[in-house]
Amino acid sequence: MPKCDRTVEFRSLVRTASSLYTQTNVQKECEQHADQCSDTIQKFVSAAISAATETPDLTLSESNVYPVIRSIGLLQNLRELNHQEPEKVPISRPFTSDSTVLYAIDSSKAMRFATGKDLARQGLSEERLQAIAVANASRLKPVKISLLPNSNGLFAAITQDGYATSRLFDPRLAQSLEQTAGGPVVVAVPTRDWIIAARADDAAAITKLKDVAARVFRREAYGVTPKLVKWDGMAWIEVPP
């Protein structure tokens, strides 16, 4: 293929892949790490191509799907991208007013979200998909919860695998957060890799949590939501402003 044609094709792929992300994630990554921008774009496009082609290792199974929380904007963009093929729109459940639960099908090279087409192919209901994904979340490696230095009472669990939000679906995480904090907590998931918590009865810490969550959400390339949630014994529910 002539060089000019490869350039056009590459730019087209970047435009298509970038349309999946409302917060210009690649641009943010490049702004934060300018020396790695070329590698960031190439990895992004490569992953987008792998996800779009539904390679064998990205076929939905009972062992490779996890619930993840993502911004509602991402889901809206995916709906627009697949508006002519509704069966390719990701299966979703509400989380907060500005975020949603999606179901990530994972492989060593790429990730995509489970769709109605996947459910039809596997003969699964949305309820069964939820049950499978939650069971897999409970088998993820436990995360360490630590008091953030000079944070006025904030606790954090930070991962590097993109599945911090998945761990919220394991009830043991809520128990661990409460044990570490010494009581019920309020939680923020401003990015896919951060869980930040404060004691529910510590007004100053909650104010700090709101500020930190908002700043991290705005700054990070893969922002999820600045909203706060709390565990009611059965599920995470949004905390009123």
Helix/strand/coil for 108: coil
Helix/strand/coil for 215: helix
Rounded average pLDDT over 208-221: 93
| 139 phi and psi angles, rounded to 5 deg | -100, 0
Q: Look at strands 185-188 and 194-199 and give their pairing.
A: antiparallel
In this model, does residue 2 exceed pLDDT 50? Answer: no
Bridge partners, 127 (sequence order):
none
In 138-202, where does DSSP find H-type helix? 171-181
Query: Which residue bears the tokens 């394991």?
Result: 170
pLDDT value for 191: 94
- Asked if 121 and 60 count as a contact pair (C-beta separation under 8 A), the reply is yes
Establish how many alpha carbons lie within 13 A of residue 101's alpha carbon, considering only the half-sphere containing its beta carbon.
Answer: 21
CA–CA separation, 113 and 65 (whole Å): 9
Give the pLDDT band of residue 46 (cuts 50, 70, 90): very low
pLDDT tens-digit readout, 99-156: 999 999 987 777 889 999 999 999 999 999 999 999 999 999 999 999 998 888 999 9
Written as six digits, the tokens of 85 are 């093929």
Query: Which residue bears the tokens 């957060």?
Result: 177
Q: Mean pLDDT in the chain? A: 83
Written as six digits, the tokens of 182 are 């010494």
> Angle 196-126-18 (CA atoms, 0-180°, nearest 5)?
60
For 153, other C-beta atoms within 10 Å of its C-beta total 16
Of 214, 189, 196, 192, which Cα lies nearest the Cα of 113?
192
pTM of the complete model: 0.79
In this model, does residue 27 exceed pLDDT 90? Answer: no
- Range from 57-61, 69-73, 174-178, 222-226 carrying the lowest mean pLDDT: 57-61
pLDDT tens-digit readout, 153-188: 999 999 988 899 999 999 999 999 999 999 999 999
In this model, does residue 43 exceed pLDDT 90? Answer: no
